[in-house]
Amino acid sequence: MTESRDEAGPFAERTAWARSLRTPLREFLRTETGGAVFLLAATLAALAWANIDASSYEGMWGTDASIRVGDAGITRDLRDWVNGGLMTIFFFVVGLEARREYDMGELRDRRRVALPLAAGLGGMMIPVAIYLAFNAGRSTAHGWGIAMSTDTAFALGVLALVGRSFPSRLRVYLLTATVVDDVIALAVIGVFYSEDVSPPALLAALAIFAVIVLVRAAGIRQFGVYLILGVATWGALESSGVEPIVIGLAMGLLTYAHPAARTDLERATEVFRLFREQPTPEYARSAQTEVAAAISPNERLQLVIHPWTSYVIVPLFALANAGITISGGVLGRAFTSPVTLGIIVGYVVGKPIGLLGFSWLVTKFSRGRLRPPVGWAAVGGGGTIAGIGFTVALLIATLTFTGPRLDEAKIGILSAALGATVVTWAVVRLTGLLPPKTRLRALLGTSETIIDLAAPVDPERDHIRGPARAPVTVVEYGDFECPYCGQAENVIRELLAGHGDVRYVWRHLPLTDVHPQAQMAAQAAEAAAEQGAFWKMHDLLLQRQDALQPKDLVRYAGELGLDVDRFRADLRTGLGTDRIAEDVDSADLSDVSGTPTFFVNGRRHMGAYDITDLTTAVKTARKTAALRP
């Protein structure tokens, strides 16, 4: 069931509407890139402030602030409130992203957990070993945790600036590995950098956390319940002497993620329809609840909190902690200090060796069954940029050292971030010097990607436009009454006109709860297919989405020169309903709940639906396919 390129017709102007449609990963990476700029600005501001007026800087962040309820209360200086209070929210977002990767990202294929886990562990163990080698037999060896953790936000932001030639899958791989990194680093803080632990208070914190787990298991979704219990756990951990930021990570890991289910969306539509008919406060609340429930709590919370952590909390943390007085004597002492040298060499040399080396070991011992989703040059670039360890490194430094030793640690952390950026830039430049085919393999690799499309394309069954044996296949689940599908059709035409080696597949997903004529329109397309005119009817239906009544469909059959009596009879008998139902079932199996949804070579397209993003996805798929044996 194929159609030649000529039958596709002329392409229309590309649409701009899809730029506003953001996916969770896309939004995460976009926020991290912007947040890195804010973080850099806050770091420079802290350095300037500390060197212009050091007493003002320390006086500001050393100011005490208290929260009291009756006789009980907590008193901390402002720096500690930022480090132990606001940063709890940051690590909550880290936990949310880790859970999302586990539920919906690369780690949903549990066989793939081993590789980023090993890479994350290697990227921590080697730097720690290097730091300990520099500080062996010294009291400063206790600061080994400083050299462990990558700053995900900063690293991804810098990677977007200096590593534009690296494939987007590197960012996903690096994000997955550094999430492992953050989880372990928080555990290390809780176990090794907590002092004078009070067992009764710690038991109280564990008991409250157990209640949180039970409340979640009971299916209670009220945010206020978790907020109260989370704050209570934080307070108990603070009283126990354990760094309370660990509760943020733990609660983030408990917050599940899932794609919106079609049944949930249909229920939300029905409740909203009831509200439209009877706009009462009760129906308004029900509609609000059902709409929110259709989206996982993980994604709802990330949408609200993540920008605050990237643009406010983490830059505020940098402003409170990155300030050091720089002079010739301070720098001279720092760059001969084992603390500074251990941190710099640990991050700039140890991180890439650990991440790249452990990834290679897993690939070797699995005999190639487990491979990074990108080429080894890209993995190497990811390893070098992972040498940016800022947030957690500064946090552990403030827990470990004071005075000159703390300044030495801060200089080491900042110098390592600069060094990692320069080395990554060098890797990018050297990779660009490779021969084209070698460079392509070094960047993209040859690993198998996760296939999201549950039902493979069947040339004997599917409606296919373009060459039957194309290296790139674009599958769209669409609805003839969906206005976004109508606009996306122009993009598809432009895509096919510009790429002769792409085949396009249309599958039906009529959203009958919001588009009452969509099912009948899909049946009309199938009735036309019986007379060899599926694509002609497909094009006409998407051009005239405001006129899809049965009489309109029959008129279109006449315009196309079809046997109108046969067409009308096929519509009346429900011809094609079984096929449409099969498409809907395959959409459910592929976790498709909205239209249009695209798959490129079996991989769900998570970007916008404009010509730029789809063209990029097609080019990447073509290059990857060319590397396959």
In the structure, what pLDDT confidence band is assigned to residue 11 with cuts at 50, 70 and 90?
A: very low
Q: Is residue 215 part of a domain?
A: no
Averaged pLDDT for residues 266-288? 83
Q: Is residue 602 part of a domain?
A: yes
Do residue 357 and residue 319 come from a single domain?
A: yes
Kindly state the percentage of the chain with pLDDT values over 70: 93
Domain span including residue 500: 451-627
Averaged pLDDT for residues 448-470? 88
User: Taking 50 as the threshold, does the pLDDT of residue 14 lie above it?
Assistant: no
In the structure, what pLDDT confidence band is assigned to residue 33 with cuts at 50, 70 and 90?
A: low
Do residue 418 and residue 467 come from a single domain?
A: no
Coil vs helix vs strand at 76: strand
Averaged pLDDT for residues 439-443? 80
Do residue 428 and residue 456 come from a single domain?
A: no
Output 294-298 pairs: Cβ under 8 A, ≥24 positions apart. 294/260, 294/261, 294/264, 294/265, 294/267, 294/268, 295/260, 296/103, 296/256, 296/257, 296/258, 296/259, 296/260, 297/221, 297/255, 297/256, 298/96, 298/99, 298/100, 298/103, 298/255, 298/256, 298/257
pLDDT per residue as tens digits for the range 65-93: 888 877 777 888 899 899 889 989 988 98
pLDDT per residue as tens digits for the range 477-519: 999 999 999 999 999 999 999 998 999 999 999 999 889 999 9
pLDDT of residue 18: 36
Could you tell me the two tokens for 273?
A: 């329809």
Could you tell me the two tokens for 325?
A: 């007085």
pLDDT of residue 584: 94
CATH of the domain at 185: 1.20.1530.10
Do residue 403 and residue 515 come from a single domain?
A: no
pLDDT of residue 413: 94
Do residue 522 and residue 421 come from a single domain?
A: no
pLDDT of residue 32: 62
Q: What is the mean pLDDT of the chain?
A: 86
pLDDT per residue as tens digits for the range 86-119: 989 988 988 888 888 788 776 777 777 788 888 8
Residue predicted with more confidence, 14 or 501: 501
pLDDT of residue 53: 93
Do residue 411 and residue 479 come from a single domain?
A: no
Q: Average the pLDDT over each of 103-117, 249-263, 507-521, 590-604 and give the range with the smallest value.
A: 103-117
Strand partners, 73: 68
Do residue 456 and residue 356 come from a single domain?
A: no
- Whether the Cβ atoms of residue 343 and residue 147 lie closer than 8 Å to each other: yes
pLDDT of residue 221: 82
pLDDT of residue 161: 77
Do residue 456 and residue 354 come from a single domain?
A: no
Q: Is residue 51 part of a domain?
A: yes
Q: Is residue 332 part of a domain?
A: yes
Backbone angles phi, psi at 532, to 5 degrees: 75, 25
Say how far apart CA 629 and CA 622 lie, in whole Å: 13
Do residue 321 and residue 417 come from a single domain?
A: yes
Say how far apart CA 525 and CA 536 lie, in whole Å: 9
The pTM (predicted TM-score) of the whole model is: 0.75
CATH of the domain at 544: 3.40.30.10
Of the chain, the end-to-end C-alpha distance in Å amounts to: 28
Averaged pLDDT for residues 609-626? 83
Averaged pLDDT for residues 169-177? 76
Do residue 343 and residue 422 come from a single domain?
A: yes
* Chosen domain end from 376, 400, 432: 432
User: Taking 60 as the threshold, does the pLDDT of residue 2 lie above it?
Assistant: no
The total number of structural domains in the chain stands at 2
Could you tell me the two tokens for 341?
A: 């040298």
In the structure, what pLDDT confidence band is assigned to residue 371 with cuts at 50, 70 and 90?
A: confident
Do residue 315 and residue 411 come from a single domain?
A: yes
Averaged pLDDT for residues 151-171? 76
User: Taking 90 as the threshold, does the pLDDT of residue 577 lie above it?
Assistant: yes
User: Taking 70 as the threshold, does the pLDDT of residue 4 lie above it?
Assistant: no
pLDDT of residue 125: 94
pLDDT per residue as tens digits for the range 310-326: 889 989 988 998 888 88
* Chosen domain end from 405, 432, 459: 432
Q: Is residue 46 part of a domain?
A: yes
* Chosen domain end from 401, 432, 463: 432
Strand partners, 477: 507, 597
Coil vs helix vs strand at 576: coil
pLDDT of residue 516: 92
Q: Is residue 93 part of a domain?
A: no
Greatest mean pLDDT among 194-208, 273-287, 474-488 lies in 474-488
pLDDT of residue 447: 67
Q: Is residue 146 part of a domain?
A: yes
- Whether the Cβ atoms of residue 622 and residue 606 lie closer than 8 Å to each other: no
User: Taking 60 as the threshold, does the pLDDT of residue 212 lie above it?
Assistant: yes
Residue predicted with more confidence, 167 or 19: 167
pLDDT of residue 246: 86
pLDDT of residue 5: 37
Do residue 382 and residue 486 come from a single domain?
A: no
Could you tell me the two tokens for 194?
A: 């907590």
Q: Is residue 180 part of a domain?
A: yes
Sequence-ordered list of residues with C-beta below 8 angstroms from that of 500, at least 6 positions apart, any chain:
5, 466, 467
pLDDT of residue 182: 77
- Whether the Cβ atoms of residue 57 and residue 323 lie closer than 8 Å to each other: yes
Coil vs helix vs strand at 234: helix
pLDDT of residue 390: 84
